[in-house]
Amino acid sequence: MYFFLRHLSFLDAFYSSVIVPKLLESLLSKEKTIPFHGCFAQISLILFSGATEACLLSVMAYDRLQAVCHPLLYAVAMNRRVCTGLVGASWAIGMSTSLINTLLLAQQHLCGPYLIRNFACELPPMLSLACSHPYSSIVSILTTMVVLGLGTLVLLLGSYSCIIMTALGINSATGRSKIFSTCSSHVLVVIIFYGSGVSRYVTLYFLNVNVAISHSKCLWPVEQRTAM
């Protein structure tokens, strides 16, 4: 359990380090600019951390399922090799998701004005700068949402459904409260993660609504990127 928590803590710190330094620089500086290569790097790292964390949260739900429903077999079912493989698969999925979406975005021709209204460079605001309809990027985003977003959510709901059924079958009130207290922190993290993801991506892309605390960033022209 603590093995997964270390990776989750690293991802949370990594995500903050990708966004916060540039955000603070923009807030304190009169130059609200970010270069193209910096913007693409930020998009890639945000996608990587988000996709990896979604998979890791599902893995942690499965870990709790084994601990609650099969406590006697937990040491065998979740040995070091299995835990390492699950974490490695989560990182691999995150890297591939980031790489595919970033490469598809790089193929788009962007038009002015080179301005995005968001606190960081993210995929939906960048696609609004595309000269033509970004079909490939939209298909990739929808595929990621369905396969990765809904897929991990189904695994989470399935794991916690089994945990709840097991907890309700325990006669001891102390045992039930211990199970719920153990899983409550993870459930809260899942709610915050998916809630913020829906409000940030779905709202920005489909409804084109800007958050009240959003911050404008001007991008370098495309010609400077192609000339490099």
At 82 the pLDDT is 94
Residue with tokens 């591939």: 96
Q: For the chain, which residues make up each domain, given as ranges?
A: 2-227
Answer whether 186's CB lies under 8 Å from 56's CB: no
Task: Say whether 102 sits in a helix, a strand or coil.
Answer: helix
CATH topology for 2-227? Answer: Rhopdopsin 7-helix transmembrane proteins (1.20.1070)
Q: Using omega within 30 degrees of 0 as the cis cutoff, is the peptide bond preceding 113 cis? A: yes
Q: What is the pLDDT of residue 224?
A: 43
pLDDT tens sequence for the chain (228 residues):
678 989 999 999 999 999 888 888 888 887 778 888 888 899 999 999 999 999 999 999 999 999 888 888 898 989 999 999 999 999 999 999 999 999 998 888 877 677 777 778 888 778 878 887 788 888 888 888 888 888 898 999 999 999 988 888 888 788 788 888 878 888 888 888 888 877 776 665 554 544 333 334 444 444 444 433
Angle at 92 between CA 77 and CA 66, to 5 degrees: 20
Q: Residue 57: which residues within 8 A CB-CB, separation 6 or more? A: 8, 152, 156, 186, 189, 190, 193
